[in-house]
């Protein structure tokens, strides 16, 4: 069973195991966030919600919101904007002041990796070259705190989702999810993902998701037979 805590709740005396979402005062570990306690390795509080703060190495889905030579300014569903330098764009063609928009224009979506964050919270991105949405598919957004639940233990949940919905699914660290498939497949996948996000704090979720996915494939088989 999950233990829900609010900020300031006492969690444990094991100060040396205090991890993310906790703070130590007078030899005791307290919660710093509203969420669920996870004591598997270190003592952590996994928050229910919260803004995405990038860390180095994260793969995110971003949206170009501004072109400011020599950078593209990218919205990554975070309080901080990220930037993609012109030199990150592959190809021999020289990018010049006036033609940056011919490579990536405002509103375009990209898959990128966070390569650096400085103390001023300037975030540098690198394009994941072989892996770009390019206008195909659908984008859905969930709170980034639910991403581990979508992926599941050792990727079990996402594997099941991919198999049963027959959809291409790419989950980025910032809670944006890229789907590619037929309209029906994407409808099913997005519905199931939103359900997981809504019920992320409950137990027995994997079984319920499996049931839901099976009921969809059952009804779609029947439709096909008609």
List contacts with another protein (CB under 8 A).
2, 4, 6-9, 21, 23, 30, 32-36, 47-51, 53, 79-81, 120-121, 145, 199, 201-202
Q: How far apart are CA 184 and CA 165, in angstroms?
A: 9
Nearer to another protein, 203 or 219 (CB): 203
**CB nearer another protein, residue 122 or residue 159:** 122
The minimum distance between CB 30 and another protein, in angstroms, equals: 7
Q: How far is the CB of 26 from another protein (least distance, A)?
A: 10
Task: Match 């704090």 to its residue by tokens.
Answer: 201
Tell me how far, at minimum, the Cβ of 20 lies from another protein, in Å: 10
What CA–CA distance (Å, rounded) separates 86 from 71? 6
Nearest to 6 by CA among 24, 41, 30: 30
Of 52 and 72, the one with the shorter C-beta distance to another protein is 52
For residue 48, the Cα-to-chain-centroid distance in whole angstroms is 14
Cα distance between residue 181 and residue 190, in whole Å: 11
Nearer to another protein, 3 or 101 (CB): 3
74/64 Cα distance (integer angstroms): 4
Q: How far is the CB of 34 from another protein (least distance, A)?
A: 4
Rounded Cα distance between 12 and 58, Å, is 31
Q: Considering beta carbons, is residue 81 or 187 the nearer one to another protein?
A: 81
Q: Are 155 and 42 in contact (CB under 8 A)?
A: no
Between CA 14 and CA 18 the distance in angstroms is 7
- Shorter beta-carbon distance to another protein: residue 78 or 165: 78
- State in angstroms the smallest separation of the CB of 6 from another protein: 5
- Min dist. Cβ of residue 47 to another protein (A): 5
What residues does 67 pair with on adjacent strands? Answer: 72
């Amino acid at each position: 069973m999950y233990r829900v805590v609010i900020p300031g709740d006492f969690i444990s005396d094991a100060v040396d195991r205090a991890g993310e979402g906790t703070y130590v005062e007078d030899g005791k570990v307290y919660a710093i966030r509203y969420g669920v306690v996870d004591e598997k390795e270190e003592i952590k509080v996994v928050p229910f919600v919260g803004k995405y703060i990038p860390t180095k190495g994260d793969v995110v889905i971003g949206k170009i919101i501004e072109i400011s030579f020599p950078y593209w300014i990218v919205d990554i569903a975070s309080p901080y904007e990220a930037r993609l330098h012109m030199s990150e764009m592959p190809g021999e063609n020289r990018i010049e002041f006036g033609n940056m928009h011919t490579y990536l224009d405002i509103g375009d979506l990209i898959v990128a990796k966070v390569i650096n964050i400085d103390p001023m919270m300037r975030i540098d991105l690198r394009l994941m070259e072989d892996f770009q949405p390019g206008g195909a598919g659908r984008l859905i957004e969930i709170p980034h705190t639910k991403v581990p639940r979508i992926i599941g233990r050792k990727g079990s949940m996402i594997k099941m989702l991919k198999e049963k919905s027959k959809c291409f699914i790419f989950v980025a660290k910032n809670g944006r999810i890229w789907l590619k498939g037929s309209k029906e497949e994407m409808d099913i996948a997005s519905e199931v993902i939103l359900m997981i996000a809504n019920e992320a704090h409950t137990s027995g979720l994997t079984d319920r998701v499996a049931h839901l996915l099976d009921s969809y494939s059952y009804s779609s088989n029947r439709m096909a037979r008609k």
